[in-house]
Structure 1
Amino acid sequence: MSFDPVKREPRPGPVFNPYTPEFDANPYPMLEKLRAQPAPPFWEEGRGWLLSRYEDVIAVLRDTQRFTANRAAWEFDAELGVAAQIPELKELNRYGLFALASADHARVRKLISPALTPRAIERLRPGIQAIVDEVLDAAAARGPSVNVVTDIADLIPARVIGAMLKIPQGREALFQRFTEAMIKNFLPGLVSAGELEAMRPDIIEGLGLVRETVEDRRRNPLEEDILTTLIRTEAQGDRLNEQELLSLVAALIVGGFETTVHLISFTVFNLLQRPEVFAQVKAEPELIRNVIEEVLRFDNFGKMGLARYALEDVPLGGVTLKKGQMVLLMLGSALRDGDTFSHPDVFDVRRNTHASIAFGHGVHYCIGASLARLEVQLAVSTLIRRFPRMELLGQPTFGPHPVLRKMDSLEVRLRP
């Protein structure tokens, strides 16, 4: 349902249901209908305003004076989900980047930026490559047919983050369980009360492990180490406090896991269903960077987009977004907008993607974007190098998820 900008009354619009198998497999016909509405900001009862056109989405991303990403503001209930039952996670949420006021958000980003620059992340390349090689060795040993999601993509991010933090030897299994529990409990409603109770010990023990690791690094700093850099970084006498450090580690786990898993899986899928592109990348391995950027644009795995909240009444696209209302920025739709991208429904490996907002924009640009890109680049390029004749064994399957087109399986035959 949208609103008539003159009468200020609801008017019929397309039925928008992102929770169907058809939407997960191909959301773009529905997203095109949203963009075609006379008043493109589309009101969805129970959700808020859906912005589907690139021009509107980028305008809100740039407007930090009238829109906030603070999910604790307005109607968001910070007591929902696991945080209500595990007080330690409530503290992490309170100090997380998306819960900070603008001034604190800017302060924390300034402090952490030296640890996550492209140059700093590039130093991780040898370690990430070693992890990728180990994962692919194990996948190949299991047989020629693998599920790229569970046998490869799922196994890389947690090990990379553990290596970044230099989790003590012998504690890797606990950190893996902690990571899996954090991912499952990130959004309300993804786990039952019984599942939460079963995972609670891993969460509590895992948080203790992270605290121990931080304290050990304070006592024994390491050169060219991300955690040491975060601890030492100082700006105008200000440093990150313990809760901010813990929240950043949690953000790396949650934000870096799902994004990397899905980007690996969607990149492999888009490559293998386009033999001509696959051949191009084998002939020009450096094209893998372009492929990743085009996958982010062409087949974005976000379902509901980025949430923002209006800090005042804002006229936009012929309607008025009221103070306190939630606005969902539909990145998957905006990145297929023909007013910004020429031939938007064509997968073009040589496209200039300078306008891409797949990792956000401005002050809320994803701090882990460089890490995700490097992990995916190494994972997919190594797959291609080792298995240049790999092939799809069918279409992917998707599972339920409130905000992602969650690919559950992607069956591939590995052929050297």
Structure 2
Amino acid sequence: MRVIQTLDFFSSEFKAEAYPVYAELRAKDPVYRITMPDGQTGWVITRYQDAVSALKDNRLVKNPRGLISSEDMVLSTMERDFITRHMLSSDPPDHTRLRSLVHKAFTPRMIEGLRQRIEQIVHGLLDEAEQRKRMDLIDDFAFPLPIIVICEMLGIPVQDRDRFREWSNAVIRATNHPERMQEAVPSIRAFIDYLRDLFDKRRGRPGDDLISALLHVESEGEQLTENELYSTVFLLIVAGHETTVNLIGNGVLALLEHPDQMDKLKNDPGLIRSTIEEMLRFYSPVEVATNRWAAEEVELHGKRIPKGDMVLVVLASANRDENRFDEPDRFDITRGANRHIAFGMGIHYCLGAPLARLEGEIAVNTLLQRMPDLRFGVDPKTLKWRPSYLMRGLIHLPVTW
């Protein structure tokens, strides 16, 4: 049996091999025990129905305090709080309180109001690329679009976007990997220093943006602590672009790999919504849901998951489960009843899902309309996946037309 233990779960090479491995795990060992690089025991959940149940199970918590010794943590308390004191790493009632503070900015109605601005950004990026007759779809298109949008929502200078990318990549790559986390400490500290300066400026001159709104709430001292403020803005910057970068990059990759489906979309742009859903299912932008820990012993498929062990819900595997999807390894932009879980499930369902979908729809349709002869700019066999177990995204995707 091919098992994750024989591959580096945190490597680009594993990403290229992952789907056959997941299929074997679903068939033979759907609750699979691994040892993480930080020494913790992890349980890999690969079947769709098990994943749905785990994402809703209140015995699996997002905040490990009390379950993991502080001696086992690489980061200082301040650095750890910076990347964990947000709603995605919280349980009720803190989760409910933190989510409510930013929910209004991400309602479908509010997001739809951004349509015109997103269209402007997309056309501007393609204007820059058009004359060159080639671009790196990740660096020149998939990354700038969502980071510009989230920076404008937060009131952050867009020219700082490359720094956010560097810091974000460092943190995501380092999750549950002590050596990489130690390497990420300078990025985390630089991120903290940047936000401290930004908050000081915004307190003196508040604007009509989300950071100003959160600073106002923090000043009241009841709903948002200073640590929660830092961590919430960190989450919005990172999550506000990471998923969409991968949705667009992976989605265009799937279209390039399946030219019949690309032609179908070019001939009928009205298929874009079902196309986006199939992109999310086929190459899920978030490979593994963010960490959960067993707050008590949990039994699943005859396996006993002890209290304190980590549970890894593999969204990418669940979205290819043959017991949930017909021909799951086939990319079909007309697929019906596509109830994938690319954005999670339950109370931690991705708050930014409407924004990611809108950005993806506009980006992909506009790209194909303006560059109808889009094709690979390199041998697709040379493409590399980012070495992060949480995310599925290409490092580069050169294209031409």
- Provide the C-alpha distance between the structure 1 equivalents of 2:95 and 2:86, rounded to a whole number of angstroms: 9
The correspondence for 1:280, drawn from 246, 251, 264, is 264
Bigger Cα displacement from structure 2, 378-387 vs 171-180: 171-180
Matching of residue 409 in structure 1 with residue 396 in structure 2: yes
8 Å CA contact 1:51–1:57 kept in 2: the answer is: yes
TM-score w.r.t. length of structure 1: 0.82
8 Å CA contact 1:159–1:176 kept in 2: the answer is: no
Matching of residue 27 in structure 1 with residue 18 in structure 2: yes
Matching of residue 215 in structure 1 with residue 203 in structure 2: yes
The correspondence for 1:112, drawn from 102, 107, 121, is 102
Unaligned segments of structure 2, at least 5 residues:
none
The 1:339–1:43 alpha-carbon spacing in structure 2 relative to 1, beyond 3 Å, is same
The 1:238–1:399 alpha-carbon spacing in structure 2 relative to 1, beyond 3 Å, is closer
Which structure has greater helix proportion? 2
8 Å CA contact 1:313–1:323 kept in 2: the answer is: yes
**Matching residue of 1:10:** none
**Matching residue of 1:4:** none
**Matching residue of 1:58:** 52
Q: How many Å apart are 1:79 and its aligned residue?
A: 7.8
**Matching residue of 2:151:** 162
The 1:216–1:139 alpha-carbon spacing in structure 2 relative to 1, beyond 3 Å, is farther
**Matching residue of 1:153:** 142
- Provide the C-alpha distance between the structure 2 equivalents of 1:213 and 1:374, rounded to a whole number of angstroms: 31
Matching of residue 319 in structure 1 with residue 308 in structure 2: no
Note the 1:191-210 alignment, pairs <5 A. Answer: 197=186, 199=187, 202-210=190-198
Q: How many Å apart are 1:32 and its aligned residue?
A: 0.7
Query: Per-residue CA shift, 1:126-162, capped at 9, x if unaligned?
Result: 2222222222222223x21222112222222221111
**Matching residue of 2:315:** 331
**Matching residue of 1:249:** 233
The 1:269–1:175 alpha-carbon spacing in structure 2 relative to 1, beyond 3 Å, is closer
Amino acid at match of 1:61: L
- Provide the C-alpha distance between the structure 2 equivalents of 1:209 and 1:369, rounded to a whole number of angstroms: 30
Note the 1:11-410 alignment, pairs <5 A. Answer: 14-16=2-4, 17=7, 18-19=9-10, 21-37=12-28, 39-46=29-36, 47-64=41-58, 66-72=59-65, 74-75=67-68, 80=73, 83-84=75-76, 89-141=79-131, 143-167=132-156, 171-174=157-160, 176-186=162-172, 187-188=174-175, 197=186, 199=187, 202-212=190-200, 214-215=202-203, 219-220=206-207, 222=208, 225-227=209-211, 239-393=223-377, 394-395=379-380, 396-410=383-397
SS of 2:327's equivalent in the other structure is coil
- Provide the C-alpha distance between the structure 2 equivalents of 1:200 and 1:104, rounded to a whole number of angstroms: 23
Q: CA RMSD in A?
A: 3.0
Amino acid at match of 1:146: M
Q: How many Å apart are 1:227 and its aligned residue?
A: 4.7
Q: How many Å apart are 1:388 and its aligned residue?
A: 1.1
- Provide the C-alpha distance between the structure 2 equivalents of 1:229 and 1:207, rounded to a whole number of angstroms: 15
**Matching residue of 1:5:** none
Query: Per-residue CA shift, 1:303-322, capped at 9, x if unaligned?
Result: 44442211111221122211
The 1:73–1:349 alpha-carbon spacing in structure 2 relative to 1, beyond 3 Å, is farther
The 1:26–1:312 alpha-carbon spacing in structure 2 relative to 1, beyond 3 Å, is same
SS of 1:409's equivalent in the other structure is coil
The 1:79–1:250 alpha-carbon spacing in structure 2 relative to 1, beyond 3 Å, is farther
The 1:311–1:367 alpha-carbon spacing in structure 2 relative to 1, beyond 3 Å, is same
Structure 1 runs of 4+ with >6 Å offset: 192-195, 231-234
SS of 1:156's equivalent in the other structure is helix
- Provide the C-alpha distance between the structure 1 equivalents of 2:374 and 2:120, rounded to a whole number of angstroms: 21
Bigger Cα displacement from structure 2, 91-100 vs 305-314: 91-100
8 Å CA contact 2:297–2:305 kept in 1: the answer is: yes
- Provide the C-alpha distance between the structure 2 equivalents of 1:78 and 1:92, rounded to a whole number of angstroms: 18
The 1:125–1:405 alpha-carbon spacing in structure 2 relative to 1, beyond 3 Å, is same
The 1:90–1:299 alpha-carbon spacing in structure 2 relative to 1, beyond 3 Å, is closer
Q: How many Å apart are 1:362 and its aligned residue?
A: 1.0
The 1:178–1:282 alpha-carbon spacing in structure 2 relative to 1, beyond 3 Å, is closer
TM-score w.r.t. length of structure 2: 0.85
Unaligned segments of structure 1, at least 5 residues:
1-12
Equivalences, count: 386
Amino acid at match of 2:384: T
Q: How many Å apart are 1:193 and its aligned residue?
A: 6.5
8 Å CA contact 1:42–1:49 kept in 2: the answer is: yes
Amino acid at match of 1:387: M
